[in-house]
Amino acid sequence: MLVYENLMFVATFNTIRLMLDEASKTELTDEIDRQWEYHLLTRAVFNSNFPKDLEYISPPFYEERGICIKVKILDAYSEVFKNSAGTVAVWLNQNYVIRLYGILDSKRLIKHGKENDIKIIELINIMRQNVGAHSTGRRASNKSDLNKATKLINELFGKKISIESIRSYTLSIDSVLEPMKDQVKAFISGLKAC
């Protein structure tokens, strides 16, 4: 038996079972919640309608989660604003996926999930490799991975996204990222404590 940073690996035949102590599980889920709150705060400003209006209040999705921000854009005509305003929300969603992956990987949960066919981990792994960590994230370069990710989104989150028509990774904050976060936390909570 090998113990490393509150983790214990138990070898059983050809597989390795990962067990976290309760404090480590709580630490992980708390960090996931903290990153989610940061994400919500930034997306309340840079929401899916940004930069449609020069003055607005954050949409109901964010208000329902305790964030209500009034925004007034003073200069929507600078080159920097025009070049990046339309895609900043997607970039923030990509960043959340990359951070979630990093949190899980820090405790070897990505490896554990891949070895044990944990579907939510498979989805995060595919997305992390394709939404900006190892690519520009602007368009799907690997259609096979995009199809796998879309099938997993449909299966895990009860969506009906057409595989044939999809051109980029679906990263909607309300229908993909939030349930993804919730399923990851459930996965961590369900791990056997050592």
pLDDT digits (tens, 9 = 90+) for 67-92: 999 999 999 999 999 999 999 999 99
Confidence at residue 141, expressed as pLDDT on a 0 to 100 scale: 72
Confidence at residue 10, expressed as pLDDT on a 0 to 100 scale: 42
Confidence at residue 15, expressed as pLDDT on a 0 to 100 scale: 41
Could you report the per-residue pLDDT of 112-149, keeping only the tens digit for each? 999 999 999 999 999 998 886 555 555 667 889 999 99
User: What amino acid is encoded at 42 in this protein?
Assistant: T
Confidence at residue 30, expressed as pLDDT on a 0 to 100 scale: 98
When the pLDDT of each residue in the chain is averaged and rounded to a whole number, the result is 87
Q: Which helix (H) or strand (E) holds 15?
A: strand 15-20
Q: How far apart are CA 85 and CA 146, in angstroms?
A: 25
Q: What's the average model confidence in pLDDT over 148-166?
A: 94
Nearest-10 crossing angle of helices 22-45, 88-105: 170
Backbone angles phi, psi at 188, to 5 degrees: -65, -45
Q: Is the pLDDT of residue 59 over 70?
A: yes
N-term to C-term CA, the chain: 12
DSSP 8-state assignment for residue 192 = P
Q: Is the pLDDT of residue 183 over 90?
A: yes
